[in-house]
Structure 1
Amino acid sequence: MKLVTAVCAAAVALAFPAYAQSQNQYQSTAYRGSVLHFVADPATSAQPYEYYEDGVLLVGTDGKVKAVGPAAQVLAANQQVNVVDYSGKLIMPGFIDSHVHYPQTEMIASFGQQLLQWLETYTFPTEKQFADKTYAKSVAKVFLNELARNGTTTALVFGTVHPQSVDALFEEAQVRNMRLIAGKVMMDRNAPDYLLDTAASSYADSKALIQRWHNKGRALYAVTPRFAPTSTPAQLAEAARLLQEFPDVYMHTHLSENKGEIAWVQDLFPESTGYLDVYNRAGLSRKRSVYAHGVHLRDDEFASLAQTQSAVAFCPTSNLFLGSGLFDLQKAEAYGVRVGLGTDVGAGTSFSALQTMNEAYKVTQLHKAFTDTPDERRPLTSLKAYYLATLGAARALDLDSKIGSFKVGNEADFIVVNPNATDLMRVRMQRATTIEDKLFALQMLGDDRAVEKTYLMGKRIYVTTGSQSGYEYNQQYN
């Protein structure tokens, strides 16, 4: 009788996957494959990662990591578990995007222009449409689906000046149970009238959004002045007021991306000693302050960022696309500045962290080529690249106690990567003899095709099989 019951249950489970999931809800799940995660910065540690060729990531019913290690060891200590076999695949923490604009999803890959012209020609007209929440919601769905398809499980995101743009994004992220940081743009000058708020309204709108969303589920809020030229000193003061009233929120803005932008900032703030000094004087630099780009930072500005525990989002793809310049990662390391990797879509041309790592490597190579001291320069290693997209980004966002690694108790946001996703990758992997070489080949040749599955809090939200792909979450929102 027990055998018949087991056979029937198995048949039902095959026919109705949701039934199978409900039957397993009281058991932990062991994901078996090649498991990789970082425990330290490769720039400062001789053993910055843990790698298990035949490993297991054990996830509890609460969606958190229970154990990680060699398969034989973990399975021997945890026998009453479901085993999901991903042999031949790489299991690693989901990627973290430290800077991205969801309203710019549809204007990705728009031709030409540098930063200031880009804003006037493409960005501002596109963002006007987000006054319509229904429209914002439709873009938010595409944006979050693209993140999942590329293996990104957390992102720090710009909305638009419209509060409803942030509501739409958080609502969609909530459906997926995704850890997301976002904020309403604050912008009270030097932009089209249809995108301007005021110092007072930006404070009131941002405060209401903080109270509505911050720490609700997995949502976190970022106070978001677009960049110094589009905020009056009064508005920057209101941004600082929000940080004082809500000490655990984020501050997210742009810094030293383009030389023309830097000169404009100096004209607008003649009393400042530089671009970063504008934010420092306003009281915006501290832990959980994230500055996108930092391409043209001076030594004293690197030192200031380190002292205030602020972070920089390194956005190589957009910096190359807009011709902004080359971020000095090696100098950031020397000063101890926290750095995460950002796609910066839409000036960035891919949602893929792998492709962003690809471009980051080239930026460091160009630094080596054009410096007066090439022997002192080193290209980005594969270990550092993956660190910047996982644990490094989590540290930059002050979230390494929750995400970015498989530390026991962390939220189980992870991806399953196929290192042989294309014929060319398969040929190249046959020549790879070390994990470092495999990772480098993956970052140079990989893209969304290499990401087979994406999990949030232990629940699969994206899967691809061959040419077929699908998103798995509350279907009423599709």
Structure 2
Amino acid sequence: MRAIRGEILHFLDDPADRGVEALEYFADGLLIIRDGRVAEAGPAEELLAKLPAGTPVDDRRGKLILPGFIDTHIHFAQADIIASHGEQLLEWLGKYTYPAERRFADPGHAAAVADFFCDELLRNGTTTAMAFPTVHAASVDALFAAAAERRMRLITGKVLMDRNCPDFLRDTAARGYAESHALIEKWHGRDRLLYAVTPRFAATSTPEQMALAGRLFVEHPGVYLQSHVAENRREVAWVAELYPEARSYLDVYDRFGHVGPRSVFAHCLWLDDADRARMATAGAAMSFCPTSNLFLGSGLFDLDRAHAAGVRVGIGSDVGAGTSFSMLQTLNEAYKVLQLNGQSLSAERAFYLATLGGARSLYLDDRIGSFAPGREADFVVLDPAATPLLARRNATCHTLAERLFVLMMLGDDRAVAETWVMGEPAWRRP
């Protein structure tokens, strides 16, 4: 058993639904951890008196302790092409993404990038991620191995592409199915690792491969499915040409059994209300990726319509079209995207989306995303005085909401003092 003392905040529900009742806050709090899980969280004065003699207490007063951030869409193989200039989606894939992913045929390269990637997540306070690797089985092995070494919770799976992509990345439907099946048997449910069936997007998979992806999703209860949908208008038109029988882009996936609980679709910009209703009814989730949507000029996410339809929503950095591993910076851009769309994102709701909201979108809120008893003790310690500007601006704040907003607008990786995984320090700022 150990405990950590500081300013503690976590969420019980979506602030859009329950307002201030959706959060639990302790100005001077204590988080008690037993065997890597949350035993209790509450006022320090009350809980310190209950601690067994000799229990170590890490004093972080002056710092804000939140559940670890959850990134619901990111590409580990694109870390080396982040901040590549000047294209929209389809051109960007051909010019930057596919050449970079070619290198992951080399297991040594895959392992080196996986180590960097996991360390960078932890440095930014992200303790759970749903990530795209490449078509190479070695890329999946490398990422799972790196996450397991760090005891992180991670979801990934071999990318499936058997058309409309370079020959050096093109798979076959049969080989994609067979390798995915073997990887599921090897990794799914091991440590804190979970597998996702991963068709890149409908345009790069034949109907045969889409059908086999749906078969994998059904054959292995508990696995996930991740893909992209309706990110870019030209992409939407292209998919409509390839699948003329489908009502919409989302309907392509639905026809192959991809839309259901534990399926997560990135972007979801150019959907209609029928698509949103279908996602809500099926229990599928959207990953809101603001930095990449702005960077590639793709469009503006409609959070209000998603919420009104009852769709699960998490936040995705979408590195490398996304421009930062930092969830604070990603929330910064989410606020701006919604401003442009005539909507307002409160700081409380933003941090909910990055923690419990992400956990709910992944059906993992019984394990991560909050400090409810029994949850895995993943958390981030934020320093509200990490930079001179943060310190000066926070000195003028009068409410928790204002301080959270300042953190998400002015904060970045420098504001992350520590990241803890399963009740143990995993990264600490020097």
Question: For the superposition of Structure 1 and Structure 2, which TM-score range results when normalised by the shorter chain?
Answer: over 0.9
- Does 2:121 align with 1:147? yes
Q: 1:78 aligns with which of 35, 51, 58?
A: 51
Please list every run of 5 or more consecutive structure 1 residues that lacks an aligned counterpart in the other structure. Answer: 1-27, 369-377, 466-478
Look up the match of 1:67: 40
Look up the match of 1:248: 222
Give, as a single letter, the amino acid of the residue that structure 1 aligns with 2:317. T
Look up the match of 2:7: 34
Aligned-pair CA distance for 1:247: 1.7
Distance 2:245 2:221 in 1: 28
Distance 1:421 1:248 in 2: 40
- Does 2:380 align with 1:415? yes
Look up the match of 1:444: 409
Distance 1:34 1:364 in 2: 29
1:356-377 Cα deviation digits (max 9, x unpaired): 0000000010011xxxxxxxxx
Any idea what SS the aligned residue of 2:252 has? helix
1:129-178 Cα deviation digits (max 9, x unpaired): 00001100000111111101000000000010001100001111111011
- Does 2:163 align with 1:189? yes
Look up the match of 1:432: 397
Look up the match of 1:22: none
Q: 1:366 aligns with which of 340, 344, 347?
A: 340
Aligned-pair CA distance for 1:79: 3.3
Distance 1:162 1:134 in 2: 12
- Does 2:309 align with 1:344? no
Q: 2:152 aligns with which of 143, 153, 178?
A: 178
Any idea what SS the aligned residue of 2:49 has? helix
Give, as a single letter, the amino acid of the residue that structure 2 aligns with 1:44. D
Aligned-pair CA distance for 1:244: 1.2
Look up the match of 1:132: 106
Please list every run of at least 4 consecutive aligned residues from structure 1 whose deviation after the TM superposition is greater than 2 angstroms: none
Give, as a single letter, the amino acid of the residue that structure 2 aligns with 1:302. R
Give, as a single letter, the amino acid of the residue that structure 1 aligns with 2:229. L
1:383-398 equivalences under 5 Å are: 383-398=348-363
Aligned-pair CA distance for 1:331: 0.6
Distance 1:403 1:63 in 2: 12
- Does 2:243 align with 1:269? yes
Look up the match of 2:190: 216
Distance 1:79 1:168 in 2: 41
Give, as a single letter, the amino acid of the residue that structure 2 aligns with 1:298. D
Please list every run of 5 or more consecutive structure 2 residues that lacks an aligned counterpart in the other structure. Answer: none
Q: 2:92 aligns with which of 110, 118, 125?
A: 118
Distance 1:84 1:244 in 2: 45
Any idea what SS the aligned residue of 2:61 has? strand
Distance 1:79 1:137 in 2: 43
Distance 2:157 2:400 in 1: 38
1:198-347 equivalences under 5 Å are: 198-347=172-321
Distance 2:237 2:124 in 1: 36
Give, as a single letter, the amino acid of the residue that structure 1 aligns with 2:41. V
Distance 1:124 1:243 in 2: 26
Q: 1:44 aligns with which of 14, 17, 28?
A: 17
Aligned-pair CA distance for 1:296: 1.0
Distance 2:77 2:218 in 1: 28
TM-score, normalised with respect to structure 2: 0.99
1:3-47 Cα deviation digits (max 9, x unpaired): xxxxxxxxxxxxxxxxxxxxxxxxx11100000001100111131
Aligned-pair CA distance for 1:281: 0.5
1:148-163 equivalences under 5 Å are: 148-163=122-137
TM-score, normalised with respect to structure 1: 0.89
Who wins on radius of gyration, i.e. which is larger?
A: 1
Any idea what SS the aligned residue of 2:146 has? helix
Aligned residue pairs, count: 428
Give, as a single letter, the amino acid of the residue that structure 1 aligns with 2:168. Y
Distance 1:419 1:314 in 2: 26
- Does 2:430 align with 1:457? no
Distance 2:148 2:280 in 1: 33
Distance 2:240 2:419 in 1: 44
Look up the match of 1:382: 347
Any idea what SS the aligned residue of 1:45 has? helix
